[in-house]
Amino acid sequence: MTDKPAQKKLPALKAPKGVPDYVPPVSAEFRAVKEAFALAAHNAGYEHIELPIFEDTALFARGVGESTDVVSKEMYTFADRGDRSVTLRPEGTAGVMRAVIENNLDRGQLPVKLVYNGPFFRYERPQAGRYRQLQQVGVEAIGVDDPALDAEVIALADRCFRSVGLTGYRLELTSLGDASDRPAYRAKLQEFLRKLPLDEETQRRAELNPLRVLDDKRPEMQEMLVDAPLMLDHLSDQSRAHFETVTGYLDDMGIEYVINPRMVRGLDYYTKTCFEFVHDGLGAQSGIGGGGRYDGLMAQLGGQELSGIGFGLGVDRTLLALEAEAKSAASGRRVDVYGVAMGAEAKQKMVPLVDRLRAAGVAVDMSYGDRGLKGAMKGADRAGALFALVLGESELEQGRIAVKDLQAHEQQDVALDSVVDYLVERLRG
């Protein structure tokens, strides 16, 4: 006998900090939310775009803005083995614009309307609703500066949230002006800020990106900023008309909003219409989605002078909002049909039957191992199935199968060779 050295139990590994797993049953909610958002976008004519998870670091530095927290503090940036600086995408808009330019989508029919989804990465301090890997569904509508498009994008975000049953949120709206009215406002704001007793870091921010100072949450700062000039009061006639047309469309669609002239978006590319969806059940991380116009971004990334507008909806936070409202976006049904075979011979018939049902487009699972009827029926129940197919010795003998309607608590014996058609028909009805 050889002595085996005692194996030390290895510690279990954990996911990195701030990176959520979505496992059943919550993963069904996750999928339902993502699919509902994407469906709403497809229904409005948006086409799917699949983007790289990492890009050249320069894309985000140039597109999102060096002075933003996202770029200056939160990016996952590293040198790859070829010593190129690459970054895990912190957001989707810059990547979409890069892909649109690179693939000449902007040379065709405008607007280009695209929808995407997936993970984004920001090295933020993790807390409830704030993750380092976050999930978004986003849309971008590129190439036409029409307030009707702003209204469409905002209404679409609202429809996305409604489609999963959310109600406890509000839409906040403002206009950040455009390249013609922003510099004058910026100077006015800086003039105001220079007169305040600001700490050194805030002074620096006031020079670099004065709009961001308005977002300082410290009570003493908010007090000092009460009389700060607001962009919304300094819009050019053109920007004002654009904004009023957008709000007019929203009124016509019956979409409620509040004007928040102090809104500060965390990314630098925004112009004109900006919006956020805020949910009251989430505590500090209350933004469930946001977006706006970014009329200079394409040129900034080396493309044409084309405008754009879009949004990013937070899937993680939508799940938390659903939980706060005690609502579910998922059906709770894993499959429609569940097969239960009693004995080896029955199983031999059940395996190909399940396969034929799947080929006919029926969502079906079956009981594995030898669980006994009670245990197997529990499996059918847990799967949320509408029908259980029970195949035992007596059914086998007659070439039939018992179809149990688990909602109506009724049972019917059906010939084995017609059960696929029978179920397809019942499920259609």
Q: Is 379 in the site for ligand HAM (CB under 6 A)?
A: no
State the Cα–Cα distance between residues 189 and 233, nearest whole angstrom: 12
The correct pick among 111, 138, 143, 210 for binding ligand HAM (CB under 6 A) is 138
Q: Which is nearer to ligand HAM, 239 or 367 (CB)?
A: 239
Q: Is 150 in the site for ligand HAM (CB under 6 A)?
A: no
State the Cα–Cα distance between residues 41 and 157, nearest whole angstrom: 9
The strand order across the sheet containing 308-314 reads 47-48, 112-121, 133-142, 308-314, 287-293, 271-279, 169-175, 258-259
Contact window for ligand HAM (CB under 6 A) among 132-140, 221-229, 232-240, 298-306: 132-140
Q: Is 312 in the site for ligand HAM (CB under 6 A)?
A: yes
Q: Please state, in angstroms and as integers, the Cα–Cα distance from residue 179 to each residue in 59, 129, 149, 228, 304, following that order.
A: 21, 34, 20, 21, 16
Q: Is 92 in the site for ligand HAM (CB under 6 A)?
A: yes
Contact window for ligand HAM (CB under 6 A) among 90-98, 230-238, 241-249, 255-263: 90-98
Q: Is 288 in the site for ligand HAM (CB under 6 A)?
A: yes
Torsion of CA 354, 355, 358, 364, to 10 degrees: 30
Q: Which is nearer to ligand HAM, 125 or 374 (CB)?
A: 125
State the Cα–Cα distance between residues 266 and 336, nearest whole angstrom: 44
Q: At its nearest, how many Å lie between ligand HAM and the CB of residue 286?
A: 9
Tokens coding 8: 């030390």
The correct pick among 63, 147, 210, 290 for binding ligand HAM (CB under 6 A) is 290
Sign of CA dihedral 300, 148, 151, 30: negative
- Are the C-beta atoms of residues 378 and 367 closer than 8 Å to each other? no
Q: Is 289 in the site for ligand HAM (CB under 6 A)?
A: yes
Q: At its nearest, how many Å lie between ligand HAM and the CB of residue 383?
A: 31
Q: Is 215 in the site for ligand HAM (CB under 6 A)?
A: no
State the Cα–Cα distance between residues 343 and 340, nearest whole angstrom: 10
Q: Is 143 in the site for ligand HAM (CB under 6 A)?
A: no
The correct pick among 62, 89, 113, 122 for binding ligand HAM (CB under 6 A) is 122
State the Cα–Cα distance between residues 312 and 120, nearest whole angstrom: 11
Q: Is 111 in the site for ligand HAM (CB under 6 A)?
A: no
The correct pick among 317, 395, 396, 406 for binding ligand HAM (CB under 6 A) is 317
State the Cα–Cα distance between residues 143 and 156, nearest whole angstrom: 18
What amino acid occupies position 281? G
The correct pick among 29, 106, 140, 181 for binding ligand HAM (CB under 6 A) is 140
Distant-in-sequence, close-in-space partners of 50: CB < 8 Å, separation ≥ 6: 116
Q: Which is nearer to ligand HAM, 141 or 232 (CB)?
A: 141
Q: At its nearest, how many Å lie between ligand HAM and the CB of residue 270?
A: 7
Question: Tokens 């688990």 belong to which residue?
Answer: 406
The correct pick among 134, 306, 342, 403 for binding ligand HAM (CB under 6 A) is 134
Q: Is 91 in the site for ligand HAM (CB under 6 A)?
A: yes
- Are the C-beta atoms of residues 129 and 285 closer than 8 Å to each other? yes
Q: Which is nearer to ligand HAM, 189 or 315 (CB)?
A: 315
Contact window for ligand HAM (CB under 6 A) among 178-186, 288-296, 345-353, 366-374: 288-296
Q: Which is nearer to ligand HAM, 119 or 229 (CB)?
A: 119
Please count the other Cβ atoms lying within 10 Å of the Cβ belonging to residue 370. Answer: 12
Q: Please state, in angstroms and as integers, the Cα–Cα distance from residue 424 to each residue in 134, 162, 410, following that order.
A: 39, 31, 18
Measured in degrees and rounded to the nearest 5, phi and psi for residue 410 equal: -120, 155
Q: At its nearest, how many Å lie between ligand HAM and the CB of residue 272?
A: 12
Strand-pairing partners, residue 79, are 85
Q: Is 310 in the site for ligand HAM (CB under 6 A)?
A: yes
Please count the other Cβ atoms lying within 10 Å of the Cβ belonging to residue 418. Answer: 12
Q: Is 291 in the site for ligand HAM (CB under 6 A)?
A: yes
For ligand HAM (CB under 6 A), the number of binding residues is: 26
Nearest residue by C-beta to ligand HAM? 314
Q: At its nearest, how many Å lie between ligand HAM and the CB of residue 353?
A: 44
Q: Which is nearer to ligand HAM, 281 or 392 (CB)?
A: 281
State the Cα–Cα distance between residues 223 and 211, nearest whole angstrom: 16
Q: At its nearest, how many Å lie between ligand HAM and the CB of residue 124?
A: 5
DSSP state of 282: G
Binding site for ligand HAM (CB under 6 A): 91-93, 122, 124, 129-131, 134, 136, 138, 140, 266-267, 287-292, 310-312, 314, 316-317
